[in-house]
Amino acid sequence: MFYFDPATGDYESWWGVKTLPKLNWGSALVRERMTAVLKRWLGPLDGWRVDVANMTGRRAADDHLHEVAALLRAELGPGAALIAEHNHDASPDLDRDGWHGTMNYGGFTRPVWAWLRGPETDLEHFLGVPGGIPERDGLATLATFRSFAAHLSWRSYVHSWQLLDSHDSPRVRTVTGSRERHLLAAGLQATLPGTPMIFAGSEFGLTGVNGEHSRTPHAVEPPRRPGPGDAGRLPRAVRAAQGRARPAARRPALAARRRRLPGVRAGDVRGVDRGVRTAGAGRAAHARRAPHRPLPRARRRRDTG
């Protein structure tokens, strides 16, 4: 079930963390027991987001990733989500009836950050890459979206999570430095193909300079009936933020709009060429599908299993 050092007898662990032993997915016992664990929690959970999925089943010459992903997906059944965390180009690890999609840091988060970063933003790392966040204009951002999307099947692309931040990264409000840029980023997240994923608290405009800072707890108690001399509610600033950005309440309307717009539904982002403007003083930033004849559809990859 595990990997052992023949010289010392010690077991291998992820990054040397001994509470996280490295599983040997070549073991039939590992496959049997891990699938049982995953299925045990379906019902309370809608599926699984697999941490560090790019390392699953891989060690030295061993590479069981695709067969493991396909095994887990088959065991979980058609109603459960199976999403791979991947901080880089995930395209070689997708399809083949394995992971439904990835956390799309490479094809969405990174280009959005580089375009909409605030002028005063000063972070030490760019999602793990030392040196801060580079600057990219709107057309370069669009080219990056297209380049990454071109390597994915349509199925994997639309099931991938389009995220602006996460528990492992700075908050998007810290990256953009303003409400206006943050709202533009949220607009891209809501209208481009893919599955929007919102990190709890970012809808309030919370800030954080790294993953640990971004996990700082915040008030979530629901409003209650005020008593004598007791406002009994969340702070005014938080209430205002809740009213401005409540994605769950707006989700049905957003989903209906996505279905009505052919460009959004079919993944056609050609209009962004015409609609992108540099965000800044005196300029409007928007993404809109410009009128044009439909583009010819490319043949999509078939999963061969």
Confidence of residue 43 (pLDDT cuts 50, 70, 90): confident
Q: Is residue 64 part of a domain?
A: yes
Is the pLDDT confidence value at 262 over 80?
no
Is the pLDDT confidence value at 269 over 60?
no
How much is the pLDDT for 209? 94
- Mean pLDDT for 177-199 is 94
Confidence of residue 176 (pLDDT cuts 50, 70, 90): very high
Task: Give me the number of domains the chain comprises.
Answer: 1
Task: Give the tens place of pLDDT for each residue, 116-132.
Answer: 999 999 998 899 899 89
Task: Give the tens place of pLDDT for each residue, 92-105.
Answer: 999 999 999 999 99
- Mean pLDDT for 165-178 is 96
- Mean pLDDT for 159-165 is 96
- For the chain, give the mean pLDDT: 81
- Which domain does 52 fall in, by range? 14-224+231-275
How much is the pLDDT for 88? 86
How much is the pLDDT for 258? 63
3-state helix, strand, coil in the chain (%, to 5): 40, 10, 50
- Mean pLDDT for 239-247 is 50
Is the pLDDT confidence value at 276 over 60?
no
How much is the pLDDT for 44? 85
DSSP structure string for 82-104:
EEE--SS--GGGS-TT--SEEB-
The token pair at 69 is 């992903």
Q: Is residue 63 part of a domain?
A: yes
Q: Is residue 7 part of a domain?
A: no
Residue 196: beta bridge partners? 162
- In the chain, the percentage of residues whose pLDDT exceeds 90 is 64
How much is the pLDDT for 45? 87
Q: Is residue 184 part of a domain?
A: yes
Q: Is residue 9 part of a domain?
A: no
Look up the CATH number of the domain holding residue 208.
Answer: 3.20.20.80
Q: Is residue 261 part of a domain?
A: yes
- In the chain, the percentage of residues whose pLDDT exceeds 70 is 71
The token pair at 227 is 């008593």
Confidence of residue 69 (pLDDT cuts 50, 70, 90): very high
Distance of CA 64 to the CA centre of its chain: 24
CA distance linking residue 251 with residue 190, whole number of Å: 10
Lowest mean pLDDT among 76-90, 123-137, 148-162, 243-257: 243-257
How much is the pLDDT for 105? 96
Is the pLDDT confidence value at 279 over 50?
no
- Mean pLDDT for 242-263 is 59
Confidence of residue 230 (pLDDT cuts 50, 70, 90): very low
Task: Give the tens place of pLDDT for each residue, 132-144.
Answer: 999 999 999 999 9
Q: Is residue 262 part of a domain?
A: yes
How much is the pLDDT for 248? 55
How much is the pLDDT for 145? 95
Show Cβ contacts of residue 198 under 8 Å, excluding neighbours closer than 6 positions. Answer: 163, 164, 189, 247
- Mean pLDDT for 142-160 is 94
Q: Is residue 284 part of a domain?
A: no
Confidence of residue 296 (pLDDT cuts 50, 70, 90): very low
- The candidate with the shortest Cα–Cα distance to 254, out of 203, 202, 186, is 186
SS (H, E, C) 243-281: HHCCHHHHHHHHHHHHHHCHHHHCCCCCCHHHHCCCCEC
